[in-house]
Amino acid sequence: MQLANFAFGFTDWSKIEHVEHKGECGSAFWRTQNFGDIRVRMVEYSRDYLADHWCVKGHVVLCIEGELHIELEHGRASILKPGMSYQVADNAVPHRSFTPVGAKLFIVD
């Protein structure tokens, strides 16, 4: 990853508009900032959220609150809890998320 072409700055996430993205069940609410080619998001998932697609985008994901279940297309599953992170490269393995209790994540992709 090359971090280039943007200045030093701060982000007050409470001032960034959130956009709803409906899942197969529930919703994800994204607050998004773009810095060159890097997208940075604060994402809140509702209780019982289930993604409506298998994602192939690479991410670095930090769980701040709640818990997020990550299912890989080949069947492996893991649970992300506060203070844990995961990382996956673009096109490495299709994955999708769900949460029975809701979650708040910080995501860089």
| DSSP secondary structure of 66-90 | E-EEEEETTS-EEEE-TT-EEEE-T
Q: Quick one: average pLDDT of 20-30? A: 97
Given pLDDT bands bounded at 50, 70 and 90, which one contains residue 1?
A: low
**Better-scored residue on pLDDT, 4 or 109:** 109
Given pLDDT bands bounded at 50, 70 and 90, which one contains residue 36?
A: confident
Q: Quick one: average pLDDT of 41-47? A: 98
Q: What is the mean pLDDT of the chain?
A: 95
As its CATH architecture, domain 20-108 has Sandwich (2.60)
CB atoms < 10 A from the CB of 40, how many? 16
Domains in the chain: boundaries: 20-108
pTM: 0.92
